[in-house]
Amino acid sequence: MSSPQNSDTIYQHRFENGVWLLFEPMPWLPTLSASLLLPFGSSTDPEGHEGSGAVLHDWIQRGAGTLDSRAHSDALEGLGVRRGGGAGREAASLSASFLADELPEVLPLVASMGSEPRLDEGEFAPARELALEELASLSDAPTQRLFNALMERFLDGGPGRSPFGTQEGLAELTPASVREDAGRRLGPAGAILALAGGAEWDRVLDAAQRALAGWQGGAAALPAARLRPPGREHVHADSAQTQIGVAFAAPPPGDADVYTFDLGLHVLSGSMGSRLFTEVREKRGLVYSVGAHYRALHGFGYTLGYAGTTPERADETLRVLLEEIRRLSRGVEADELERARVGTLSSMVMQGESSGARAGRLASDALLQGRARTLEEIRRAVEAVELDALNDYLAAHPFPEPTVVTLGPRPLSQEAAA
């Protein structure tokens, strides 16, 4: 599938201090996107200080280098930069999209939030206050609450923790404790800077060299994800719908089976023609929203399934959801695989047209797999999956017993998940 926009080059450089720079040129674009991953997340928050990473992520955006919070923000915005990012389980991200000509001005401003944040005393209290506000907001967001509860029930220890932290953990934080945390976790080792868009590698490398090469510091090791025994849990909420979440382990990122598994999952839930959408929504009208998606942490893959429905239909919805998940081990038809393959390849090409999507994928590949993949490598791997191999895989790896968490006005009957 050749297209005028295929590029199969990913440039990489590791600076001596450990920062990993990746760049994918998209010379036809006037724009450039950057994604900076910093190696601290809720999974390595200090015990009793849950939410320290979330506060640190906010605090480093409140002034860096010679610029205070307001001056730093005005400088970025004066260059027309669109910013994003968030505090995650394994890494905190800062992203920026801008006109490519502004690269030499923008990159130092972005990089300095990682390499030389001011962490001014006066900015600590509002940063923590905002983290508390965001945590409190979750109580009016049932779907997000469900997924936080599901991950906590599914995984043991750090990796199961919510990136928002806890009220108790946030209350314990002081400027000194978060600075100490930054000294331990916010360093160039493990930091990833990925860019994609309309620039040349020489310019990118030069700008990154100037912005990042002087950064010194350490980084915390990521804990391995450990599963809790599967089980069920209900969280009470006075909501109109019951939220249903299921989680089970899947091949780890980088594993040779990921492409095979992913095509199987696409048959289950990749589109409006998929099995879940057809059986749960189209035939039975049980839900508006239903799906199952592959997710990954460093060295660990898992699948999250979701459905939202009114309480009286929740039992039937969970039953059909689990039936369809289990039925996958009996194999898929040739035409189902072909549709999944066409959908996967075509969406890859389309996402490849966006600089933000490409920079994001480069950064997450680097974090999760320790290597970057070209679109061409992914295409070849997806095309190589044969029907027999997929069906053998699905038969040999039936979906394990899931963890099921529901959130709503009343628990489901036990039979629904049996």
Partner 1 sequence: MSGRPETTARGELRFDTLTLDNGLTIVGELNPRAASVAAGYFVRTGARDEAADVAGVSHFLEHMLFKGTDRRTAADINRSFDELGAQYNAFTSEERTVYYGAVLPERLPQLLDLLSDMMRPALRQDDFDVEKNVILEEIAMYEDRPHFRVFELAGQRFWNGHPLGHSVLGGQASIQALTREQMLAYFQRRYAPSNLALAVSGAYDWEDLTTGVARLTRDWRPYQARRELPPAEPAVGEGRTADGALSRVHAAVFAPGLAATDERRYAAAVLANVLGDDSGSRLFWALVDKGLADSASLGHEASDGAGAFVGYVSAAPERADEVLGSYRRVLLEAQDGALDAEEWRRAQRKLATSLTLRAETPLGRLVSFGAGYQALGRYQSVQELVRAVMSSSVEDGRALLALRPFDRLYLHRLGPDGAES
Which residues inside 32-71 make contact with partner 1, applying CB under 8 A?
Answer: 69-70
Question: Does 288 interact with partner 1 (rule: CB under 8 A)?
Answer: yes
Q: Which stretch binds partner 1 (CB under 8 A): 80-88, 151-159, 212-220, 255-263?
A: 80-88
Q: Which stretch binds partner 1 (CB under 8 A): 14-22, 28-36, 253-261, 386-394?
A: 28-36
Catalogue the E-assigned strands of 151-229. 155-156, 192-197, 226-227
From CA 51, how far away is CA 114, in angstroms rounded?
A: 18
Paired tokens of 114:
């990682």
Helices then strands, each counted (H, E), the chain = 15, 15
Catalogue the E-assigned strands of 122-272. 155-156, 192-197, 226-227, 232-236, 242-250
Nearer to partner 1, 47 or 133 (CB): 133
Q: Site size for partner 1, by CB under 8 A?
A: 78
Contact criterion met (CB below 8 Å) for 365 and 298: no
**In Å, what is the CA distance from 8 to each residue of 11, 193, 382, 385?**
10, 19, 16, 21
Question: Does 395 interact with partner 1 (rule: CB under 8 A)?
Answer: no
Q: Which stretch binds partner 1 (CB under 8 A): 43-51, 127-135, 202-210, 363-371?
A: 127-135
**Cβ-based neighbour number of residue 392 at 10 Å:** 13
Dihedral over Cα of 397, 401, 403, 407: its sign: positive
Nearer to partner 1, 49 or 72 (CB): 72
Q: What is the nearest approach in angstroms of partner 1 to the Cβ of residue 81?
A: 7
Crossing angle between the packed helical segments 334-351 and 387-396, to the nearest 10 degrees: 100
Nearer to partner 1, 80 or 231 (CB): 80
Contacts (CB under 8 A) with partner 1, residues 225-264: 237-241
Question: Does 122 interact with partner 1 (rule: CB under 8 A)?
Answer: no
**Cβ-based neighbour number of residue 84 at 10 Å:** 13
Contacts (CB under 8 A) with partner 1, residues 92-121: 97-99
Nearer to partner 1, 126 or 400 (CB): 126
From CA 350, how far away is CA 353, in angstroms rounded?
A: 5
From CA 59, how far away is CA 87, in angstroms rounded?
A: 11
Which one of residues 122, 126, 183, 231 is an interface residue with partner 1 (CB under 8 A)? 126
Question: Does 82 interact with partner 1 (rule: CB under 8 A)?
Answer: yes
Nearer to partner 1, 130 or 227 (CB): 130
Q: Which residues, at least 6 apart from 202, have a Cβ–Cβ distance to it below 8 Å?
A: none
Q: Which stretch binds partner 1 (CB under 8 A): 221-229, 304-312, 381-389, 398-406?
A: 304-312
Q: What is the nearest approach in angstroms of partner 1 to the Cβ of residue 10?
A: 18
Question: Does 356 interact with partner 1 (rule: CB under 8 A)?
Answer: yes
Nearer to partner 1, 44 or 239 (CB): 239
Question: Does 17 interact with partner 1 (rule: CB under 8 A)?
Answer: no
Which one of residues 310, 329, 369, 374 is an interface residue with partner 1 (CB under 8 A)? 310
How do beta strands 31-38 and 63-64 pair?
A: unpaired
